[in-house]
Amino acid sequence: MSWEMMAVFIGSTIRLAAPLLLSATGELVSQRAGVLNMSLEGMMLTGAFAGALASWYTGNPLIGLLFGTLAALPVALLQAFFSITLKANQIVTGIGINILALGATTLAYREIFGSRSSEAIPGLSKWSPPVLRDIPLWGDQVFDQVWLLYLGGLIILLTALVMHRTALGLALHACGAEPRAVDKSGLSVARLRYLAVLFSGLMAGLAGCFISIGDIHTFTEGMTSGAGYLAIAAIIFGNWKLGRMVLACLLFGAAAALKFFLPAIGIQVPNALLIMLPYVLALIAVAGLIGRQTAPGSLAQPYSRS
Amino acid sequence: MEHSASAMHQSQQHAAKAGQPWLQLESIGKRFGSFQALQDVALQIRPGEIQCLLGENGAGKSTLCNLIFGVHEPTAGQMLLDGGVYQPQGPADAFAQGIAMVHQHFSLVSDLSVVDNLLLGQAHGFLRRGAMADRVARLAEQYGLQLDPHALISTLSVGERQRVEIVKCLMREPRLLVLDEPTAVLLPDEIDALLRVCRRVAAQGCSVLLVTHKLAEIKQVADRVTVLRGGRIVAHSEHPADELDALVQAMIQHAPDSPARPAAAASRSPRLQDEVLQVDGLGVTDVQGVTRLDNFTLVLNRGEIIGVAGVEGNGQSELASVLSGMSSPSRGRFFINGEELSGASPQAVTRAGVGVVPEDRHATGCITDLSLAENIFLNRLHEFQRWGCLDRAAMRAAASELMRRFDVRAASVDSRFGGLSGGNQQKAVLARELTLRNLTCLIASQPTRGLDVGAVQAVYGHIRAARDQGVGVLLISSELDELLTVADRIVVLYRGRIMGSCPAQPDQRARIGAMMAGQTP
Amino acid sequence: MSLSFLQRVPQPLLRPFIPLTAVLIALLFGVALVAATGASVSEALGAFAEGAWGSPYAIAASINRSLVFALVGIGFVLAERARLINVGGEGQIAVGGIAATAVSLYGGVADLPMGLAFILPLLAAALAGGLWGGLPGVLKVKAGTNEVISTLMLSFIGIWLLYWCVQSSALLRQPMSNSGTLPESLEIPSSTMLPFFFGDPSMPLHVGLPAVLVIGPLVALVLGRTLFGMHLRSVGLNQQAAHRAGMPIARTLILAMFIAGALGGLAGGFMLQGEQYSLKAGFSSGFGFDGLVVGLLARGSIAGVFAGALLFGFLRSGGIYMEMVAQVPSALVLVVQGVIILTLAAVTLINRRGEAV
């Protein structure tokens, strides 16, 4: 195996992990606050579609990014309204939203793009940090990434800062662990949870845009193909800790990159096994086979005072 | 009991006592639906005093605290604060007026640190954990509250968690600290520590309202004591340490309307000496390592009712849970008719002929969304199986028969169980448990809780009838009158241990009361 | 509450009223969408009707689809009785399909008499689905694992397991004769295919129909009239009280998940042996999630499952035909389904609050 292939592998691992990282970060905040937001897949798909549409229509991928990110918000609002205000079953709501989003984006795509479906869409440009870009081989293969990825890294750091160092992070954390204590301290559980779900919507929108106008430069029906569920699996495997979740996303990204990489170096491993791996790992984790699982205490439980 | 003057034995508090009351409750009443929780209650809080609120369970102590803390609103009377009307709309108002309360149930986030719990809802922007830790350390020194500010709540004992709740209150620099039965969950040395904290808080000028039913604590810290019974103030003492006996009498006095004891039962003694239940050194240690039940040993004979007296939370729930097969004992064993059943499943316990009336009817005793008939036969539905299906006609017929025998009143055997009144629900539970085919023993916990007078009488009747047929009955109740009325013999539980036992005679009341309060006979 | 009038309506009337409202709202929404796309509504609806019930073949295809939804839905309702949510239908269908293919092709059953040739693969499919569904039950009892998460993960694992089976010639992929050999299994022997009900390929209703018509009422009977049904209800309503009453909690939970999984596996067997005849990637094609929705719609009633299954079966068939003829994307059906689920969740909650008051 050459150094070059290694660099290519690492580069594509990061690229494939990026949408997971973005969406899982938002989802983690939402789950930390107690809302199991299963509509992640639907929100990503909506973001991917809206981003592609706006970018294609205006020819400006930045406007696409803005539009795609904002388009996921109403979907997040729907999830929040059902699971926080109506106190509906969060999983059922999520599945409903995912089916709806798949149908709606496919329908709209056929209507709007129609026969022009294979047309390339203006995408986000690539960027690599100074100094790092001068490293031979790595500069091109590893660090030359869509700039949204670097923005995502920044957001993840900011999220970690907010979650661990600020009053807001503390309150969000307490919302998922012991909402009664939050209520008694005078804060609004509902408001905090809405905020968390909306943040997950924003991040899912970014993740969707990364897939459509960042990575592939086009939109195809159902193009997120389960990335939302994969992000949830990464959170479970990462035991609801941000750092471990990031590692889980990179691991899942590597598994996806191996699909292309292993045949290139002459190793035959069934693709299906690599795709399946993240779900198997998440299942093993949730079954308590690797250490104690510490899911937020009130995850997926609506809060009411009485 | 209002004595005029007495020796100035506690000089420090006397200065405070002399102060004018700053919070006054005037003829307060509170009604929940048809239930009168409090009636004509007057209470004064003076600066820097420790006032104890004494009373049995259900006497209205918690309701009174919740009124002061703004959780409920009174339905009669008024509260005055510094001479002005005090009408808190919620805990926030109470806090604003300098009133803080430590509830029986803590509201702490267990996977966060002490400091983070204290910061929750109080901080903005970036967290200043260091500053908060310093503040905790200062408070700890000021009041003698030992606390590691960076420990996770989940690693703390119950006593330490309570200290966090107290610190949470003290950080608001309150004028009144209300503690609702703070010692019920504590170990002896933790209680002493808490009482010392109370002293120091009061010494700083903050009033303390301490809800308790433990006389030892009153003796240790109380400046004044108010006794509640049945929602009314029945006694008040300015010198509690000298008047303990009178306070006990007031707390557990015989209610005039309580049913007379049947003469026949009073003189009866166990006719048959065969033992149905032997309990040998039973002990329960909870997940936190606190001993809830300790070396409980008892022999229950055929045709005998043994009452287990004690203020709630002294090991009764653990005892009933172990004996009914719902949990395993940490130590010791028990036998039904000589067959060891320690740690056996509820099914095995039922099969051995033990009827169980659980303490919490809705959680354990019935399934409210099933029908009356289904609940009556919940533990033996399999008896109605016919060709793989349930013979519902036979079940209904059998249920109607039991409804008639046990006087369960409902529209039909198909009525939803949750729609029945509490009394009828309990009668149905008794109908189920007392008609086990090989019934030899009945474990009944708080069987008349929440029932009206008629239903209470019916429950007593059924328990007595079972005894007369030779069933051994273990009756666990926090109602002393109930035990004196129904039981043949009484053992008293205090902090998980048997304090002593005596015949169930009305003249033993004072002695039992003292044992319930933790005094050795 | 504006819907408080609902409280005065007798419960038996109310039960179907709520899902019907949800479906009606969603269908109207769907029609509005058709109009919005600029297609002719009458043409689209005509195409829809043609595809759904326009010919004996169309009817049979719709009903065969409904059978799959019904089985998954029945399993969902059964597990739901014990407050278990089985989101794993998709994976259970997949492993059912794998088992049915393996036994049909390599189980040596093709020459067995008396219908055993197609019955044994079906039983294998049910067993595989049962194990796939039972595992979350075991995890729930032993480790307290939330069955929603574990069944969902197992769904994806099942889907990709199937993909692996048809990709690898060491497993179920047909022998590679040339580079154009598709990644799918061989066609199963005709003796293992489900016989047509009318013996007529133009009306391809297979024997799954009578089977489901027996299973449905049987499960209704089990739920309503047997000790196991009482155990399911009791464990679902109040586990502690059920435990005190001596009911076997762990066994009930595991068995409930096993049966739900087995019905999903059987559905996979039906799809393979009654319709597709060879295993391909994407075999389960979302039917497991549709079945879940059918189960949700049914609100605990087996009759409701049948109604929902028929609705979704015809919706799917009609939607596909509508796309082919009237150029209205069949994704419309997904939109309608999503709206049904969400409307139902909202309406149910409003009604539940009414009851609580």
| Residue C33 belongs to a domain | no
* Segments forming the whole domain that contains residue B70: 12-104+173-252
ipTM of this predicted structure: 0.86
Q: What pairing do the DSSP bridges indicate for beta strands B441-445 and B354-357? A: parallel
The model's confidence at residue B269, banded by pLDDT at 50, 70 and 90, is very low
**What's the rounded Cα separation, in Å, for the pair B304 and B449?**
22
Which among C86, C212, C246, C226 has a CA at the least distance from the CA of C154?
A: C86
Residue range A283-288: mean pLDDT, rounded: 84
Q: Which tens digit of pLDDT belongs to each residue from A187-214?
A: 899 999 999 999 999 999 999 999 999 8
> Is residue B401 scored above 50 in pLDDT?
yes
> Is residue B266 scored above 60 in pLDDT?
no
Chain A residues touching residue C161 (CB < 8 angstroms)? 272, 276
Q: Which residues make Cβ contacts (< 8 Å) with residue A112, sequence separation at least 6?
A: A53
| Residue B429 belongs to a domain | yes
| Residue C250 belongs to a domain | yes
Count Cβ–Cβ pairs < 8 Å, chain A vs chain B: 53
Residue A171 contacts B, CB cutoff 8 Å: yes
Do residues C253 and C141 make contact, with C-beta atoms less than 8 angstroms apart?
A: yes
Given this model, what pLDDT does residue A306 score? 58
Residue range C92-106: mean pLDDT, rounded: 95
| Residue C23 belongs to a domain | no
A107 to C336: CB separation less than 8 angstroms, yes or no = no
Given this model, what pLDDT does residue A1 score? 58
Distances (CA, A) of A3 to A11, A137, A258, B151: 12, 8, 16, 48
Distances (CA, A) of B241 to B1, B16, B237, B238, B250: 13, 17, 9, 9, 15
Of A165, A177, A186, the CB nearest to B109: A177
The model's confidence at residue B359, banded by pLDDT at 50, 70 and 90, is confident
Of A173, A181, A186, the CB nearest to B108: A181
Chain A residues touching residue C289 (CB < 8 angstroms)? 95, 99
Please indicate, yes or no, whether residues B263 and B381 belong to a single structural domain of this protein. Answer: no
CATH number at residue C164: 1.10.3470
Q: Give start and end residues of each alpha helix (H) in B283-366.
A: 316-323, 346-351
Of B109, B110, B125, the CB nearest to A166: B125
CA distance C231 to chain B (A): 9
Q: What percent of chain C has pLDDT over 90?
A: 45
B116 to A170: CB separation less than 8 angstroms, yes or no = yes
| Residue C196 belongs to a domain | yes
Given this model, what pLDDT does residue B10 score? 41
> Is residue B365 scored above 70 in pLDDT?
yes
Residue range B48-76: mean pLDDT, rounded: 86
C331 to A236: CB separation less than 8 angstroms, yes or no = no
> Is residue C353 scored above 50 in pLDDT?
no
**What's the rounded Cα separation, in Å, for the pair B41 and B230?**
11
Q: Which tens digit of pLDDT belongs to each residue from C207-262?
A: 899 999 999 999 999 999 999 999 999 999 999 999 999 999 999 999 999 999 99
Q: What percent of chain A has pLDDT over 90?
A: 52
Number of domains in chain C: 1
Range with the lowest mean pLDDT among A4-18, A109-123, C8-22, C168-182?
A: C8-22
Residue C85 contacts A, CB cutoff 8 Å: yes
Query: What is the side-by-side order of every strand in the sheet holding B207-212?
Result: B99-102, B176-179, B207-212, B50-54, B224-229, B232-237
> Is residue B264 scored above 50 in pLDDT?
no
Domain stops at, among B390, B406, B435: B435
Chain C residues touching residue B419 (CB < 8 angstroms)? none
> Is residue A235 scored above 90 in pLDDT?
yes
CATH number at residue B317: 3.40.50.300
Do residues A160 and A94 make contact, with C-beta atoms less than 8 angstroms apart?
A: no
B122 to A297: CB separation less than 8 angstroms, yes or no = no
| Residue B414 belongs to a domain | yes
Record the tokens describing residue A253, joined without a space.
Answer: 């990204």
Q: What percent of chain A has pLDDT over 70?
A: 97
The model's confidence at residue B143, banded by pLDDT at 50, 70 and 90, is confident
Please indicate, yes or no, whether residues B274 and B349 belong to a single structural domain of this protein. Answer: yes
Hey, which residues does B35 pair with through a beta bridge?
Answer: B32
Please indicate, yes or no, whether residues B335 and B449 belong to a single structural domain of this protein. Answer: yes
Residue range B473-498: mean pLDDT, rounded: 90
Q: Is A120 or B23 the better-scoring residue by pLDDT?
A: B23
Q: Give start and end residues of each alpha helix (H) in B435-468.
A: 453-468
Domain stops at, among B435, B453, B471: B435
Chain B residues touching residue C245 (CB < 8 angstroms)? 346, 350, 378-379
- Best to test chain C binding among B367, B396, B417, B443 (most C CBs inside 10 Å): B367
Residue B368 contacts C, CB cutoff 8 Å: yes
A100 to C153: CB separation less than 8 angstroms, yes or no = no
> Is residue C201 scored above 90 in pLDDT?
no
Q: Which residue of C has its CA nearest to A98?
A: C338
Supply the mean pLDDT for chain B.
85
> Is residue B218 scored above 90 in pLDDT?
no
CA B23 to chain centre: 28
Q: Is the pTM of this model over 0.95?
A: no
Domain stops at, among B412, B435, B458: B435
Do residues A160 and A173 make contact, with C-beta atoms less than 8 angstroms apart?
A: no
Distances (CA, A) of A128 to A213, B168, C292: 18, 50, 46
Of A104, A272, A287, the CB nearest to C160: A272
Hey, which residues does B126 pair with through a beta bridge?
Answer: A166
* Segments forming the whole domain that contains residue C162: 41-171+183-327
Please indicate, yes or no, whether residues B190 and B100 belong to a single structural domain of this protein. Answer: yes
Q: Which residues of A touch C (CB under 8 A)?
A: 78, 82, 86-89, 91-93, 95-104, 106-107, 110-111, 221, 226, 229, 233, 236, 270-273, 275-276, 279-280, 282-283, 286-288, 295, 300
Q: Which residue of C has its CA nearest to B365?
A: C241
Residue range B472-486: mean pLDDT, rounded: 89
Supply the mean pLDDT for chain C.
86
CA C166 to chain centre: 23
Residue C251 contacts B, CB cutoff 8 Å: no
Number of domains in chain B: 3
A283 to C293: CB separation less than 8 angstroms, yes or no = no
CATH number for A3-114+155-286: choose from 1.25.40, 3.30.1360, 3.90.930, 1.10.3470. 1.10.3470
Q: Which residues of B touch A (CB under 8 A)?
A: 91-92, 107-112, 116-117, 119-127
**What's the rounded Cα separation, in Å, for the pair C242 and B450?**
23
Hey, which residues does B209 pair with through a beta bridge?
Answer: B51, B178
C163 to A272: CB separation less than 8 angstroms, yes or no = yes
Taking a contact as any Cβ pair under 8 Å apart, which residues of chain A between 244 and 303 contact chain B?
Answer: 294, 297
> Is residue A244 scored above 60 in pLDDT?
yes
Residue C243 contacts B, CB cutoff 8 Å: yes
Given this model, what pLDDT does residue B14 score? 44
> Is residue B406 scored above 80 in pLDDT?
yes
Residue C335 exposure: Cα atoms within 13 Å on the Cβ side: 21
Distances (CA, A) of B468 to B270, B441, B462, B486, C325: 10, 12, 10, 12, 84
The model's confidence at residue A268, banded by pLDDT at 50, 70 and 90, is confident
Given this model, what pLDDT does residue B86 score? 92
Q: What pairing do the DSSP bridges indicate for beta strands B497-503 and B291-301? A: unpaired
Q: Which residue of A has its CA nearest to C139?
A: A287
By three-state DSSP, how is residue B335 classified? strand
